[in-house]
A and B are shown apart, each in its own frame.
Chain A
Amino acid sequence: MKPKYRRHQTREVKQPRYTRDAKQDIKRTAAAGGSLRDKLKAYRDLHAHALFSSLGRLVSSPFNTIMTVVVLSIAISLAGGFYLVLKNLQQFTGNLETSAQISLFLKDEITEAHAKQLAENIRQNPAIQSVKLITKEQALAEFKTYSGFGSAISVLKTNPLPIVVQVLPRDTLENKEGFEELLQTFQQSVEVDSAQFDLKWVQRLQSIMAVSQRGAALLNLMLGVAVIFIAGNTIRLELNNRREEVIIAKLVGATSAFIQRPFLYTGFWIGFLSGVTSWFTVTMMMLILMQPVEHLSTLYGGNFHLLFFGFLDTLELLAISSGLGVLGSWAVLMHQLRLTKVM
């Protein structure tokens, strides 16, 4: 209905003469309040006041604040946890890349001297990073130590294990064709009984990682949306509680920016506090997991160490959670303040 009336109004009344005066006058009214320095100081004070009074409000109603912050920090902890798990797993696949090696099991009739010669020949190949020869005796000793069949092995009269040459090619994962070619040459060489490699396994693990990374990104996106909505809902309730204040401020000439400021700071604090809480939650969980994980790592003889939030990770976590809090409250303010009738 309204637009129709507006059109009536503009058609029937001549107005431009006043509008220019009004603009100048508004500028003058807006400029009230003393010298520039005084005004800048007042502006800074307004922000500082909004920052601390919004925190004070949150502290003065601890139950509501804790409820919101706990819900938010669960969402943020989940997201942060996913991030850390992936970061740790990446370290794991990083280790594996170097283990994409080829094991050449030599034929039984090959002598140790011959094997040494072979290893030396392979080492000359520029596509090879390193070569390690494992003699029959070394293999047996290793088998005895790690297999748990030590006593059973000693019953055997002859050593059944073949000589093994472990070959570590350069750039295994970047240059797949080269790797396949290398593997074929080894398989065809007369001394080699069989050539094994574990690249396929590494590739599978890597694609699993890629899938989980994308999955985690999607989940984190959803959790971020949840954080925006939860923070927004809290601000909506706060806005309802302080409706009277908003109306009075509007009546004595407050701009939208003035009215929104404390609520935006509330959103910031909720996000920030939730970020801090989730940092501690995730770190606590990692500390609880640390001992068994390190134990598991030593069992596999790996040098896998649990990674925690770094300095930059922490900054990022706090910035994102505070930002989402502000975003949520901003969205609600845009919507709700338009609906708030002054009287």
Chain B
Amino acid sequence: MLKFENVTKRYPEAGDVLRSISFHLRHGELAFLTGHSGAGKSTLLKLIAGIERCNRGVILLDGENLSAAKENQLPFLRRKMGFIYQDYKLLQDRTVFDNVALPLVIAGYGHQEITRRVRASLDKVGLSGKEKKFPMALSGGEQQRVGIARAVVNKPPIIIADEPTGNLDPELAAEIMRLFESFQQVGVTVLIASHDISLITKMNHRVLKLDHGQLVAD
């Protein structure tokens, strides 16, 4: 599903941030990406999102060469991934419904289809009935679940989460993690960047550990 082959990312001012990274995330697999801050976790996620380009190596997403995609192809590749962020990245001046609907509006879905899918997605994360609320009116855990609903509404084959539980207390964090496991069970590939070691060890999944830009444990 997601394959890194000898990927190197170098910033002119910081040197090699990622050095010869290789791993293969199979279809329907759930994995954690961990490491101290500055180990290159966010850079690796930026490479997947196509925000940054790697200097060497190949990144394959579902057989497509992400690292060689042209700028105008990137939007269509991003539609195959669901991103979840630590700070939720919700639009504060839009309702929950509009926030979740955004990927579908962008992909050009019709009105009825959008309503149906947004409802289903909100239902899945346990937020049905809150679609007319604004993000500010929700708790942190609920806002994160809106973010998750938005990430899965387009039914992407892969979900990538960047510190999704960073701002949540342990109980809510465990709940969010269970949600990710439920996505994995229906065949979605999940990659979660996190440094919450206790939570990760408890969950017993594959762990990719980065240290100073190198993959030290898999």
Q: Which residues of A contact B150 (CB under 8 A)?
A: 252
Enumerate chain B residues within 8 angstroms of A342, measured Cβ to Cβ: 49, 51
**Would you call B78 an interface residue if the criterion is a C-beta within 8 Å of the partner chain's C-beta atoms?**
yes
Q: How far is the CA of A22 from the CA of B70 in the complex (A)?
A: 11
Q: Cβ of A247: which chain B residues have Cβ within 8 Å of it?
A: 89
CB distance from B122 to the nearest CB of A (A): 16
- Residue B57 is within 8 A (CB to CB) of chain A in the complex: yes
A window 172-204: CB within 8 A of B: none
Q: Is B132 an interface residue (CB 8 A)?
A: no
Q: Judge whether A46 is part of the interface by a CB distance below 8 angstroms.
A: yes
Question: A249: which of B58, B65, B102 is its contact (CB, 8 Å)?
Answer: B102
B201 within 8 A of A: no
Pick from A18, A33, A248, A252: contact of B60, CB below 8 A: A18
Interface presence of B106 (CB below 8 A): yes
- Tell me, rounded to whole Å, the shortest Cβ–Cβ distance linking B164 to chain A: 15
Nearest-neighbour CB distance to chain B for A44, whole angstroms, equals 11
A45 to B111, CA, bound (A): 9
Inter-subunit contact A33/B51 (CB<8 Å) = no
With both chains docked as a complex, state the minimum distance between the C-beta of A125 and any C-beta of chain B, in angstroms.
Answer: 75
A residues 1-57 in Cβ contact with B at 8 Å: 1, 5-6, 8-9, 12-13, 15, 18-19, 21-23, 25-26, 29-30, 32-34, 38-39, 41-43, 45-46
Contacts of A13 in B (CB 8 A): 56-58
Q: How far is the CB of B156 from chain A (nearest CB, A)?
A: 9
Q: Which of B69, B76, B105 counts the most A-chain CB atoms under 10 A from its CB?
A: B76
Decide if B169 is an interface residue (CB 8 Å cutoff): no
Asked if B10 is at the interface of the complex by the 8 Å CB criterion, the answer is: yes
Contact among A6, A12, A244, A251 for B49, CB-based, below 8 A? A251
Residues of A within 8 A of B77 (CB): 22, 26, 29, 253
A157 lies within 8 A of chain B by Cβ: no
Residue of A nearest to B112 (CB): A38
Cβ–Cβ < 8 Å partners of B64 in chain A: 18, 21-22, 25-26
Task: Say whether B69 contacts A22, CB under 8 Å.
Answer: yes
Asked if B113 lies at the interface with its beta carbon under 8 angstroms from chain A, I say yes
Distance (Å) between the CB of B3 and the closest chain A CB?
Answer: 11
Q: Which residues on the B side are within 8 Å of A8 (C-beta)?
A: 55-56
Q: Is the CB of B106 within 8 A of A245?
A: no
Contact B108 A43 (CB under 8 A): yes
**Residues in A neighbouring B10, C-beta threshold 8 A:** 5
In-complex Cβ contact of B51 among A248, A258, A341 (8 A): A341
* CA of A22 to CA of B72, assembled, Å: 13
Known: A9-B54, A29-B76, A29-B79. A253 touches B68 (CB 8 A): no
For B60, the chain A residues whose CB sits under 8 A away are 18
B108-119 contact mask (Cβ, 8 Å, vs A): 1 or 0 = 111101000000
Task: Tell me which residues across on chain B come within 8 A of A26, comparing CB atoms.
Answer: 64, 73, 76-77
Q: Does A255 contact B (CB under 8 A)?
A: yes
With A13-B57, A26-B73, A244-B91 known to touch, is A252 a contact of B102 (CB < 8 Å)?
yes
Distance in Å from the Cβ of B76 to the closest Cβ of chain A? Answer: 4
Contact between A42 and B109, CB atoms less than 8 A apart: yes
A254 on the B face (CB < 8 A) = yes
- For the complex formed, measure the closest distance between the CB of B114 and the CB atoms of chain A, giving whole angstroms: 8
Chain A hits for B49, CB < 8 A: 251, 342-343
A243-265 vs B, CB cutoff 8 Å, 1 = contact: the mask equals 01101111111111010000000
Task: Say if the beta carbon of B62 comes within 8 Å of chain A.
Answer: yes
State which of A19, A248, A251, A343 has its C-beta within 8 Å of the C-beta of B68.
A19
In this complex, which of B46, B67, B78, B107 has the most chain A Cβ atoms within 10 angstroms of its Cβ? B107
Which residue of A9, A38, A251, A258 contacts B110 across the interface (Cβ within 8 Å)? A38
> B108's contact among A5, A46, A251, by CB below 8 Å, is which?
A46
How long is the Cα–Cα vector from A140 to B150 in the complex, in angstroms? 95
B103, CB-defined interface residue at 8 Å: yes
Q: Provided the pairs A252-B103, A253-B78 are in contact, do residues A15 and B109 lie with their beta carbons within 8 angstroms? A: no
Residues of chain B having any CB pair with chain A under 8 Å: 10, 12, 46, 49, 51, 53-58, 60, 62-65, 67-69, 72-73, 75-80, 83, 89-91, 102-111, 113, 150, 154
Q: List 12 A-B contacts (CB under 8 A).
A: A9-B55, A15-B58, A18-B64, A22-B64, A25-B62, A29-B77, A245-B91, A248-B89, A250-B75, A256-B72, A341-B51, A343-B46
Nearest 8 interchain pairs by C-beta: A18-B65, A253-B79, A38-B110, A22-B64, A253-B78, A5-B55, A252-B103, A26-B76
